[in-house]
Structure 1
Amino acid sequence: MSRAFKETYADIKIASPLKRLGAFVYDLMLVAALLMVSTGVLMTINGGEALDTSPYFAVYQSALFIIVYLFLSFFWMRNGQTLGMLAWRLRVQTSEGYRLNFTQSLIRYIVGIISLSAFGAGFLWMFINKQKMTWHDLASGTHVVELPKNARILE
């Protein structure tokens, strides 16, 4: 069951590709930092040895996959905004205007990885789609919207 946002706005519009790109780059830097810190912690647990030659390499990759998912889904489910989206006044919400649930966040994350893996074709789809939706928007039933300038950002 999806929860409604505390505040709704009458003048919400679909986010522009340029703003989405800005938020993506911002979040990419945060995720890179998170991965570096996580790798340091996991290397410490592994006795300081490199993890790429470890018999636990699959566990390491799985841990990083889960860590990034938990980081992004926390923000998507909490208030619909990652830190990058917050900076650009963007919000991800369901087609009905609600917060994402666990399943929608998971679908959005996995299809987002597929979108990137396909040389960004899933992201470029927003230039073909009339509603400016990417593959992960379509698969998860979500939209990225731009909040008005007078919007109260943190809920």
Structure 2
Amino acid sequence: MAEPTSTATSTPATDHPNAGVIRRLMAMVYDGFLLFAVLFIAGAIPTLILSPEHIKDSPQTGTVVHELSSGAGGWLYQLYLLSIIVMFNSIFWRKQGQTLGMQAWRLKLVSLNGDKPSWGQCIIRVFASFLSLLPCGLGYLWLVVDKQQLAWHDRLSKTKVLLLPKR
């Protein structure tokens, strides 16, 4: 007789409660640190490629570089960084339903029907979460008063964040 598995993925999504605001915010802090590092590296790449004149101004030449300006700059550079943020979250959510911060706090993103979120839901969720932040984080704080514990971006993307059991 086969022994039942006790992994978090083997139980239906409806068996887990929706995650509260504190756990979600703590997972966001974890992900924020990781995303900062990713954006730092992603931002350095076009800066170093498009500003090679600063690379040759090394200590051996006696030239002091006070500022390293990004040759990309402007809206194109901002769009590039925004695409990194969208890809970072969407790839994690679509692949396994969890970012690294969500894994640490035992959270998992699923569609409202319990399935893995689609690419469209993931992308909508990223942009909708920016909207949830705008009015002083009201979209996130909405979790406290919502009977289903769904934030604005949960509702807009038709997803929910579940609290997984301890292993």
TM-score, length basis structure 1: 0.86
1:72 aligns with 2:89: yes
Query: Given that residues 128 and 153 in structure 2 are in contact (C-alpha distance below 8 angstroms), is that contact kept between their aligned partners in structure 1?
Result: yes
* In structure 1, distance between residues paired with 2:15 and 2:157: 23
Which runs of 5 or more residues in structure 1 are unaligned?
151-155
- Count of paired positions: 144
Query: Given that residues 21 and 141 in structure 2 are in contact (C-alpha distance below 8 angstroms), is that contact kept between their aligned partners in structure 1?
Result: no
Q: Which one has a bigger Cα radius of gyration? A: 2
Cα shift at 1:114: 1.2
Q: 1:28 aligns with which of 28, 32, 35?
A: 32
| 1:111-122 equivalences in 2 (<5 Å) | 111-122=128-139
Which runs of 5 or more residues in structure 2 are unaligned?
1-7, 55-67
Residue in 1 that maps onto 2:157: 140
> Alignment identity in percent?
36
Residue in 1 that maps onto 2:166: 149
1:8 aligns with 2:11: yes
| Change beyond 3 A, Cα 1:137–1:63 | same
* In structure 1, distance between residues paired with 2:161 and 2:87: 19
Q: 1:109 aligns with which of 115, 119, 126?
A: 126
Deviations 1:35-67 (A, max 9, x none): 11111112112215513xx57411100000001
Give the 3-state SS of the residue equivalent to 1:106 in structure 2. helix
* In structure 2, distance between residues paired with 1:104 and 1:120: 21
* In structure 1, distance between residues paired with 2:142 and 2:21: 11
Tell me the C-alpha RMSD between the 2 structures: 1.7
Query: Given that residues 105 and 140 in structure 1 are in contact (C-alpha distance below 8 angstroms), is that contact kept between their aligned partners in structure 2?
Result: yes
TM-score, length basis structure 2: 0.80
Q: 1:43 aligns with which of 34, 47, 53?
A: 47
Structure 1 or 2: more helix by fraction? 2
